[in-house]
Amino acid sequence: MRNSFIIVILLLTSSVRVHAQFPTDYSLNSPATSSLPQSNIISDILSKNDTLWFGTDKGLMNTRNRGLSWNNFRNADGLTDHGISALAANDEIIWIATAFSTRQDGESLSSGGGLHYSTDRGQTWVPVSQPVDDGTVDTLDYGTNKVLALAITTVVNNVTFDIALTTNAVWIASFAGMLRKSTDRGLSWERVILPPDNLNSISPTDSLDFDLAPTSGRIGLRGNLNHRVFSVFASDDTTIWVGTAGGINKSTDGGASWQKYSHQNQPNSISGNFVVALNEHRWSSNKILWAATVNAESQDEIRGISFSDDSGLNWKTALLGEFAHNISFKDSIVYVATDGGLYRSSDKGSSWARSGTIYDKTSLHRFSSSAVYAVATLGDTVWVGGPEGIAFTVDRPGEPFGSEWKIFRTYRPIGSASTTYSYPSPFSPDDEVVRIHYAVPTAFSAVTIRIFDFAMQPVRTLIRNAQRAGGREYDEIWNGLDDTGKRVANGVYFYRVEVGNEEPIWGKILAIQ
């Protein structure tokens, strides 16, 4: 299953940008076990046995009790607090990949932070450096062919976006680092040769003339979109699926020979060649390969999802126009995490229902953005994560999908009705919201929050006499609009929180677009 680390990928440019458009969230410098998750930006979710693992922009965490407590691995067991770009597990073995942002020539670029693996369900971890090569160009043997290959000597843009595990190998999809595998748990890596853009298949018995390179440049290699690798899935030890910026590749002999499926080379084709997620749905006698397929270079490509029940010979498409990030399953049901929300199909993709607003009726938290980056199931619970935290809903007879949500968000506890803060600060009203955090004392109270400009003129009444249970802390969301629905100008704004008969408290918001 592909990670969906959003690191927002700018395909066909030299950089990959990290969540710059989303709010900065508060996270805890706390013991490993906490009542709160360590981040509100979730890149990936992995369900394994009784445990849910979460990749975040601040490291790894898990829960074994449906979010009652969280094990936050930041700064523990040798793990770094780099963002998690990929997760994979096989029995007791867990692999993670990390990424971070680095400055180069005044530009912020994403870089591979290396990998870690655990053989004891996360109790201890072994670090693995991000794979790099020596030299600039070298030659790889492929049957009787000598293939010139780009040697990746830097971690910049060499980000592992996905991991697949077979019995004797670890496979990683690393964008500029291409597809690699290791048979010795990361002590050494080999670059796996995929078809170039102008060929639909390759085999070691073919006579071939192409270069293994994700980009062309001054070194004279012929670059290929199909060597920019973003997703990898192992159906079994011999059947490997790989998603690139040039389509979907399938090997049935453990990665020696490959067949490529693109938007252009089949009558019933995938919707787009930029393949950011792969997963296989097995239940009863069914086996369907699902892919999140985004438009790459051709004008007739379109983002959506593509799926095949005949091993790639023919594809169907759905959710056209949606940018899908991740795909998961429960029995016969398919769930797709997209920028437009969480979608569900119970009829093999013929029809779809969308979750709607994710809102927790108990805590009053809600996702202001429709985007979800990751989805996974554990029993009858369906978990999602994205730029605004984690949530789950129950999907079973008598409890309709999406009718009730439980949301988990981290925040800086204040523990007092005399304190408030807003976050992020500053915030950009054109593409994010600001949250006003406050506490209600023990008694059930009416809450009013008003926003004023620097001249103390009323701008927005956010809530008026809203009933809030006591002994809890709350967030109220302001989208940067005034009472007439007009977006506010840049500047300093003040807000006043009135809780019951308590003395009103004031806070400040800085809006910059």
Q: Who has greater pLDDT, 362 or 162?
A: 162
Q: How high is the pLDDT of residue 216?
A: 86
pLDDT greater than 60 at residue 25: no
Q: How high is the pLDDT of residue 416?
A: 83
Tokens of 105: 């020539």
- Alpha carbons within 13 angstroms on the beta-carbon side of residue 141 total 2
- Alpha carbons within 13 angstroms on the beta-carbon side of residue 220 total 4
Would you identify the CATH topology of the domain 420-511?
A: Immunoglobulin-like (2.60.40)
CA dist 489 and 473 (Å) reads 29
- How many other CB atoms are found less than 10 A from the CB of residue 506? 10
In the structure, what pLDDT confidence band is assigned to residue 37 with cuts at 50, 70 and 90?
very high
pLDDT greater than 60 at residue 18: no
pLDDT greater than 60 at residue 217: yes
In the structure, what pLDDT confidence band is assigned to residue 10 with cuts at 50, 70 and 90?
very low
Tokens of 230: 């973003």
CA dist 110 and 90 (Å) reads 28
> Which of 147, 140, 142, 260 is CA-nearest to residue 204?
142
Q: How high is the pLDDT of residue 408?
A: 96
Strand pairing partners for 62?
53, 71
In the structure, what pLDDT confidence band is assigned to residue 15 with cuts at 50, 70 and 90?
very low
pLDDT greater than 60 at residue 309: yes
DSSP 149-164: EE----SBT----EEE
pLDDT greater than 90 at residue 430: no
CA dist 366 and 315 (Å) reads 36
pLDDT greater than 50 at residue 11: no
Q: How high is the pLDDT of residue 77?
A: 63
Report the chain's mean pLDDT, rounded to a whole number. Answer: 91
CA dist 474 and 379 (Å) reads 30
- Strands 145-150 and 211-212 come out as parallel
| Cβ–Cβ < 8 Å for 210, 193 | no
Q: How high is the pLDDT of residue 103?
A: 80
Domain segments of the chain: what residues? 420-511
Q: What percentage of the chain has pLDDT greater than the value 90?
A: 78
Q: How high is the pLDDT of residue 23?
A: 31
Residues 6+ apart with CB under 8 A from 468: 364, 440, 444, 445, 446, 447, 474, 499
What's at 445, amino acid-wise? Answer: S
For 463-504, the pLDDT digits (tens) are 999 999 998 999 999 999 999 999 999 999 999 999 998 899
Strand pairing partners for 242?
232, 249
For range 417-421, the mean pLDDT: 92
For range 309-329, the mean pLDDT: 98
Q: How high is the pLDDT of residue 75?
A: 66
For 125-178, the pLDDT digits (tens) are 999 999 999 989 999 999 999 999 999 999 999 999 999 999 999 999 999 999
Q: How high is the pLDDT of residue 31?
A: 37
Q: How high is the pLDDT of residue 108?
A: 82
| Cβ–Cβ < 8 Å for 174, 180 | yes
pLDDT greater than 70 at residue 24: no
- Alpha carbons within 13 angstroms on the beta-carbon side of residue 144 total 4
Q: How high is the pLDDT of residue 302?
A: 98
Q: How high is the pLDDT of residue 106?
A: 78
